[in-house]
Amino acid sequence: QQPVQSPQAVILREGEDAVINCSSSKALYSVHWYRQKHGEAPVFLMILLKGGEQKGHEKISASFNEKKQQSSLYLTASQLSYSGTYFCGTIGFTGTASKLTFGTGTRLQVTL
């Protein structure tokens, strides 16, 4: 089942903050966050496995709620290099723990 991402797109000025959300109707085994620049491969940012978990550093961090149905990616004091499309990829409890199901992505543009 495909996770739902919001917002679809966001434009920021350099130094502003953004939050990207990823929601599932069922509890998840894990959430994986990737950033993809145009014409390039998705680059792994972080993985969250535990309910209530928060990880990352002060600039880019993520959380996973207690029910393991929602994750948020926090981009603080954005830089031009943050521009790209952010995808959450989820792994559910059914089937094998190998198939990443990606959300539709959030296009982030950071301007001067």
The yes or no reply on residue 84 touching another protein (CB under 8 A) is no
How would DSSP label each residue in 13-77? ETT--EEEEEE-SS--SEEEEEEE-TTS--EEEEEE-STT-EEE-SSEEEEE-TTSSEEEEEE-S
Q: 25 vs 95, which CB is nearer to another protein? A: 95
Q: 32 vs 68, which CB is nearer to another protein? A: 32
Contacts of residues 4-7 at CB distance under 8 Å and 24 or more positions apart, as own/partner, are 4/103, 4/104, 5/86, 5/87, 5/88, 5/103, 5/104, 5/105, 5/106, 6/106, 7/106
The yes or no reply on residue 105 touching another protein (CB under 8 A) is yes
Within 2-61, the residues that bind another protein by CB under 8 A are 30, 32, 34, 36, 40-44, 47, 49
The yes or no reply on residue 96 touching another protein (CB under 8 A) is yes
The yes or no reply on residue 99 touching another protein (CB under 8 A) is yes
Binding residue (CB under 8 A) for another protein from 84, 87, 108, 110: 87
β-partners of residue 9 are: 107
Q: 13 vs 38, which CB is nearer to another protein? A: 38
Residues that bind another protein (CB under 8 A): 30, 32, 34, 36, 40-44, 47, 49, 87, 89, 95-96, 98-105
